[in-house]
Structure 1
Amino acid sequence: MNLRDEAAKVLLGNWRGRSTIPAPGLYPHQWSWDSAFIAAGLRHLSPLRAQQELESLFGAQWSDGRVPHIVFDPSAPRDGYFPGPDFWCSARVNGPAHADTSGIVQPPVHALAAWEVFSSEPDLARRRGFLERLYPKLLAWHGYLRGSRDLGGRGLVSIVHPWESGMDNSPSWDAPLRRVEPVPAGEFRRRDLDHADAAERPTDADYGRYVRLAATYRDHGYADGLDVHEFAVEDPLTNALLAASEDALARIAEELGEDPRPHVAEVSRLRDALAQLHADGLFHSRDVHVGELIRGGSVAGLVPLVVPGLPQAPELIATITGPRFRAAELGVVPSFDLTDPLHDASRYWRGPAWFNIGWLLRRGLARHGATDLAEVLRGGMLSTATRSGFREYVDPTTGEGRGAHHFSWTAAVVLDLTSA
């Protein structure tokens, strides 16, 4: 069986009728940004399923516009994942009546995925009214982020939990998390360690902080404000993906006969606002409570390459090829600066390479003319997937697999790269 067929087998095996789980065992529900990457790969197998993937996620959208980071599968055991539906839903204010969901969000890559899915089979999408139904939901989603989440008043979206970044325990979050008193480990049961090596997962202390932040948000009825959120960070990845998705919304608007100019203007506005986070050849997060950049070496600071017309692109390309990330040499991109003492090649988001981030960076490099490097990443990801299987993440220097097996977005990226 060739690599493409193996990737297809993973995605089809993880399909659950209307959506795809990230991986068996560890992740038994639907995750928000996972579904976007999954849809981008699934379109090569079944454009219909790819449309349904996004439709099922947005079917659980809250009335305030937020798209929850988890949509819980009612057929899965309620206590099979922590925090599960009983934790999140005990104080729901705006959530949908028909689905159990979490109350936090993940990065807004969905409009970009929706346009890719539409483009794979436009006639089918038009017959089904795919974009007509999804466009207002995407508008509401972006509206929530621009409005309720501009906690710093500087035109940038704030995340209010490390899980919202998608990069759960990045070293970038260490400093703001020190303000948070962790829930003692004995007061909750981690289910992730039933399926994964503790050396590859967040520590108990960090997990206790995650639980504290989530419980506080829940107990305040998921209201947004600096008085509620001890953790409030302007994240370059989240804001860059919002800009890239606004660019996709401009194309969706044109397809639907709507005015694309507001989306084009929003791309420009976000591109200018992101400049506030740029320093030392990289974009950095900013701690809203103290008003200072969190200087470090997260790969999140390279993701603004996906923003069209980014003035800082040449500096980012120099950084990604330099000693901190060594992308041209490795063919994959570590999630944290290789030269930093905090780099950990095995632990979740503190150093391993992830296929979804490589996929985004390849697109960004190609957009800004670095086509040779984009091809190096394409080849590197495919050869790494061949060696390691469809693992959740890999050691960036050895390619050895880490985390969950049969991981859906890894398979989705491989499908998209082999179809390019």
Structure 2
Amino acid sequence: MSRLALATLDGNWEHDHTVPSRTLYPHQWSWDSAFIAIGLAHVRPDRAWRELRTLFAAQWADGRVPHIVFNPRLRVGAYFPGPEFWDSAAADGAPAGATSGIVQPPVHALAAWLVHRRGPSAASRAALGELYPRLVAQQRYLARRRDVGGGGLACVVHPWESGLDNSPAWDAPMAAVPAEAGVMRAYRRHDTAHADAAHRPTDLDYARYLTMVQSYRAGRYRDDDLADRHPFLVECPLFNAARGAAEHALADIAAVVGADPGPHRERAARITAALVERLFDPVSGTFRPRDVRTGRLVPARTVLGLTPLMLPDLPAPQVAAVLAEACSARFGLAGRMDRPLPSHDRTAADFEPLRYWRGPSWMNINWLVWRGLRAHGRPELAAGLRRSMIDLVARAGCHEYFHPDTGAGLGSPAFGWTAALLLDTLADG
């Protein structure tokens, strides 16, 4: 399987970065590159650092790291929504190259630290020193520009920023987003040309996605007045857990590059406390996104609620509650797992095992939870989850996502982060 994973990553290498897949995703994606760098550290460490450098070369002046960096070598229309739709050049502080205007979960500091730890050297210390101020700027942007709710958590302004694009977690806040009449008639979706439409977001949801981009773009991607004009503002458990984990990683990086790790540890503690205060639901015993516009926690019980396990300082009561949720029939975590974690509650009426993020299993989310189980001293559960992740690829190959019951491969084949995280999972049994 290691050979398959390496061949996948080599096949997706594009001169200075790795594309998620050669079919549906022909550009560089932000959190994909972070996960891919973690895997490349085992086999192509020079490429791992180049992956991160290329991504951060497209960082905006305000510190945001765009979720897509467009490859100028590709023809116009090779992907939708492409650079002409985002029109990032019209925004203040955008880089010279074309990018999107939104972000993704900030898992990059964790990736940089893991790449260095895999092969510490003078070169990796120099790479950390180069990336450190950019990683700090990324965190500063999220803390200062995106805390719309005022409680110490960053808002996502689009479901795409969460990484779990089509999760049922976004149904309630998205219902308030107007789907502009005829918006889809002006464009041609590329995702349904490469995957079964029954497995992808509906046209109604996609129209709302475009409406949200148009709203943010109309303000030239400013964040100073989001509460007044933007229709979608949600505090996401995964996104903010990633922020906290990033501060822990930055504390480790700071110690290597000669900076003070103390402020990072303090910020990590504040983020964890805010996550527990604002997003933990003691009634259900899980973390839920908060719709900042209504002030309410969203009702859906999704795998997002398990991801705060990645925080090493998550308090013991919340760890116990999240583990109980993970081991319930909704998600099925066990010491000997015959099925991987689904992305949505298996017992829910709207569970869809084939549709993007509404049921299928994803390697990156399983990997994050696996790391959290190890950090919180549950090796038997971690071993069961690891086994299920390896079995997925052994049976179906490096697919984008998988049927959560049969393990059948879904979405794009030869998918980058599946290959990369398989390498990391195999290396750290």
| Aligned residue in 2 for 1:158 | 155
| Aligned residue in 2 for 1:118 | 116
Paired AA for residue 216 in structure 2: Y
Conserved 8 A contact 2:105-2:239: yes
For residue 64 of structure 1, report the CA deviation from its aligned partner: 0.5
- Which piece of structure 1 moves more, 329-338 or 380-389? 329-338
Conserved 8 A contact 1:331-1:376: no
Report Cα offsets for 1:76-106 as digits up to 9, x if no partner: 1221111100111266323544311000000
For residue 125 of structure 1, report the CA deviation from its aligned partner: 2.9
Conserved 8 A contact 2:153-2:235: yes
Report Cα offsets for 1:225-264 as digits up to 9, x if no partner: 2123100000000000110111000000001111101010
Distance in 2 of aligned mates of 1:392 and 1:126: 30
Q: 1:287 aligns with which of 268, 284, 291?
A: 291
SS in structure 2 of the partner of residue 212 of structure 1:
helix
| Aligned residue in 2 for 1:302 | 306
Distance in 1 of aligned mates of 2:238 and 2:143: 15
| Aligned residue in 2 for 1:320 | 326
Report Cα offsets for 1:294-323 as digits up to 9, x if no partner: 122110110000001211111111111111
% same residue: 50
Cα separation, partners in 2 of 1:90 and 1:378, compared to 1, 3 Å: closer
Cα separation, partners in 2 of 1:283 and 1:97, compared to 1, 3 Å: closer
Conserved 8 A contact 2:70-2:83: yes
Q: 1:176 aligns with which of 173, 178, 185?
A: 173
| Aligned residue in 2 for 1:107 | 105
| Aligned residue in 2 for 1:277 | 279
| Aligned residue in 2 for 1:22 | 20
The reply on whether 1:216 has 2:215 as its aligned counterpart is: yes
SS in structure 1 of the partner of residue 344 of structure 2:
coil
Distance in 2 of aligned mates of 1:385 and 1:124: 35
Distance in 2 of aligned mates of 1:90 and 1:250: 32
For residue 327 of structure 1, report the CA deviation from its aligned partner: 2.0
Report Cα offsets for 1:115-158 as digits up to 9, x if no partner: 0111122215347x201110000011000000100010111010
Conserved 8 A contact 2:339-2:407: no
Distance in 2 of aligned mates of 1:211 and 1:10: 31
Report Cα offsets for 1:144-183 as digits up to 9, x if no partner: 0001000101110100000000001111111111111224
Paired AA for residue 238 in structure 2: L
SS in structure 1 of the partner of residue 290 of structure 2:
strand
Distance in 2 of aligned mates of 1:268 and 1:317: 21
For residue 40 of structure 1, report the CA deviation from its aligned partner: 0.4
The reply on whether 1:414 has 2:411 as its aligned counterpart is: no
Aligned residue pair count:
417
Alignment of 1:1-150 (within 5 A): 3-89=1-87, 92-126=90-124, 129-150=126-147
For residue 331 of structure 1, report the CA deviation from its aligned partner: 4.3
Conserved 8 A contact 1:22-1:409: yes
Conserved 8 A contact 1:92-1:222: no
Unaligned 5+ runs, structure 1: none
For residue 194 of structure 1, report the CA deviation from its aligned partner: 1.4
Unaligned 5+ runs, structure 2: none
| Aligned residue in 2 for 1:368 | 376
Conserved 8 A contact 2:88-2:94: no
Report Cα offsets for 1:37-72 as digits up to 9, x if no partner: 000001111111000001000000000100000000
The reply on whether 1:206 has 2:210 as its aligned counterpart is: no
| Aligned residue in 1 for 2:185 | 186
Distance in 2 of aligned mates of 1:252 and 1:316: 29
Could you state the TM-score of these two structures normalised by the residue count of structure 1?
0.97
Distance in 1 of aligned mates of 2:88 and 2:302: 34
Distance in 1 of aligned mates of 2:164 and 2:196: 18
Distance in 2 of aligned mates of 1:137 and 1:382: 34
Report Cα offsets for 1:316-363 as digits up to 9, x if no partner: 111111111002233411000001111100000001000000110000
Distance in 2 of aligned mates of 1:97 and 1:268: 32
- Which piece of structure 1 moves more, 225-234 or 48-57? 225-234
Report Cα offsets for 1:363-400 as digits up to 9, x if no partner: 00010011111011111100111111111001111101
Conserved 8 A contact 1:331-1:379: no
Paired AA for residue 6 in structure 1: L
Distance in 2 of aligned mates of 1:273 and 1:208: 33
Conserved 8 A contact 1:95-1:101: no
Cα separation, partners in 2 of 1:6 and 1:187, compared to 1, 3 Å: same
